[in-house]
A = this chain, B = another copy of it.
Amino acid sequence: MNLYAARVRVNRVTTPGPSVTQARRRAPARQGTLREHNLALVLRHVLDAPAAPPSRAEVATATGLTRGAVSALVDLLIGARLVAELPPTATARAGRPAVPLVPARGTVVALGAEVNVDYVGVRALDLAGDVLAHTVEDGDFRHSDPAAVLARLARLVGRVRAAVPSDARTAGLCLALPGLVDRVTGPLRLAPNLGWRDVDVAALLTAHPEVDGLTVRLANEADLAARAEVRAGVAGDSFLYVSGEVGIGAALVLDGEVFAGRHGWGGELGHTVVDPRGPRCTCGASGCLEQYAGKDALLRAAGRDVEDPVDALLAAAAAGDEGAARALVSGGEALGLALANVVNLVDVERVVLGGIYAPLAPWLAEAVTAQLRTRVLSAPWARAQVGVAAGGAHAAMTGAALVVLRAVADDPSAWLPPAP
């Protein structure tokens, strides 16, 4: 363990609700509040710099702080190994060359984990957003035992932690789950495809030595994948993200933030109705979208085993297997119908196909677009664009790690070395 471990030794279970900093903003100012605030302000400018790494002078201009104050704060952030300096570059004007500031690499470990219906995995990101380590294992977690699955996840956490630089500090872990995570009270309420209901996931996970001592957060997988998509910067800052797996989740992103509703349970696209007389769903209702366009449904419609990989389905369709192509098109029609309902309801301009829908998009997207054209009332004036996710495979793990990084960025003062 390292110097700072004691600060995060207590297991805190949190969801990505109001941050420490947000809570502090509502509280009366205390001694040190100002420095904490300005430290976070400077760090955010370095982490979020859209183009070239900024110099101290540029941070001062952007934040309105004095150059002296910025220099002192940057020195603290360098000392805490949150910020690093690049070699000086010559400036156009006379004077000392500017020193570009960048997020420190390999010094902070943010763990993004995921339990989904057919895989479990962990990804470690540093402050620069680089993947330090990553592992995914396939499995079949339908109707699984939460304790057993979380024990397996804990082993993967241990493996990933062993693979990152030994002097890096772990900032925490966020776990993506395919179901209803209560953002107010914390636990997983329901993951229908896992068969999990009212499970204290964080308690089960932190019981393992690989996780003990870490701050653990839980969130819905589609919400997290949507955060990775925002970060990827391709879809703009307002869109509907669709996460296709065995289940189908969605996240409405507005101005760069996930809109998750009152309890954080929004985005359950997979359980919107395609046909009320349709097949029984794992949720107990009938005719839900998952039964038409979820991974298992697509494979079944193509006459394949539900444990087949999506790549096999894709290869079959590409090789001229008409059953496979038909299954994908009719899955796309069902998905498009459900998405037309969403666009009619919330007037969103862009739909991003993620999860298995990203590789399947060449076979699905046309049917989706056709439904949006036919069924969205406003389509003649502004047609919702259908795009493919840029967040990469297992985007929810990336999004989960980003939640951990945001917590670091919101409260960098917790990372300062103790005063001598």
> A residues engaging B (CB < 8 A)?
180, 182, 189-190, 192, 238, 250, 252, 259-269, 271-277, 283-285, 337-338, 340-342, 344-349, 374-378, 380-382
How many copies the complex holds: the figure is 2
Q: Which single member of B250, B265, B269, B348 contacts A378 (CB below 8 Å)?
A: B265
**Bound complex: CA A335 to CA B275 (Å):** 14
Q: In the complex, how many angstroms separate the beta carbon of A290 from the nearest chain B beta carbon?
A: 11
Q: Can you list 23 A-B pairs, Cβ within 8 angstroms, ordered by A?
A: A180-B378, A189-B380, A189-B381, A190-B380, A192-B377, A260-B347, A261-B347, A261-B348, A262-B349, A263-B347, A263-B378, A264-B347, A265-B382, A268-B345, A269-B345, A271-B376, A272-B344, A272-B345, A273-B274, A273-B340, A273-B341, A274-B276, A285-B374
**Bound complex: CA A279 to CA B268 (Å):** 27
Q: Which 10 A-B pairs have the closest CB atoms?
A: A261-B347, A266-B347, A268-B344, A272-B341, A265-B347, A265-B378, A285-B375, A268-B377, A266-B346, A271-B377
**Residues of B with C-beta under 8 A to A276:** 274-275, 337
- Closest B residue to A350 using CB positions: B262
**Bound complex: CA A180 to CA B268 (Å):** 26
**Residues of B with C-beta under 8 A to A274:** 273, 276
- Closest B residue to A192 using CB positions: B377
**Bound complex: CA A275 to CA B252 (Å):** 24
